[in-house]
Amino acid sequence: MDISEKEPLIYDLALDAPIQKVWQAISDKDKMVQWYFPMMEDFKPQVGFVTQFDVVHPESGNHYQHKWTVTEALDQRKLSYEWNYPDYPGNGLLTFELEPNGDKTHLKLTFKALESFEPQKYPELSMANFNEGWTYFTNALADFVNKQ
């Protein structure tokens, strides 16, 4: 897939769940580990909060230490955090934006590279691979909140 490293990845989801439930799924560590990253030890939707955890790539076996720093947290409306790998170049920004729609929720997820992840050197960090990952996670989130 030819995805520009400069263009953000944007996903729009219509979730069959109230906004409170969706907010908990993306901001409460006990919910996040059920659909997102089970190895995450802590998360708080507070500006300045930092969490780190190790993820092993399923195909290569490479370890990727994830570091997230919360940059914006508006209760039940918006959550953003910088996303990087301390042992690799690059920095991204992940943003969840929520809008109520009756007893359902519209979620817009945006991931953009703030600094290049140097995909020529590290192909696993290409935007095409991020797209595969976000497609997986948006489906997992929808399944999670729709079953709750």
pLDDT greater than 70 at residue 121: yes
Instruction: State residue 8 phi and psi, 5-degree precision.
Output: -70, 155
What tokens does 130 get?
């991020």
Instruction: Name the 3-class secondary structure at 121.
Output: coil
**Cα–Cα distance, 127 to 111 (Å, whole number):** 9
What tokens does 93 get?
């920004």
Answer whether 0.85 is exceeded by the pTM. yes
Top pLDDT among 58 and 76 is at 76
**Domains contained in the chain, CATH given:** 9-147 (3.30.530.20)
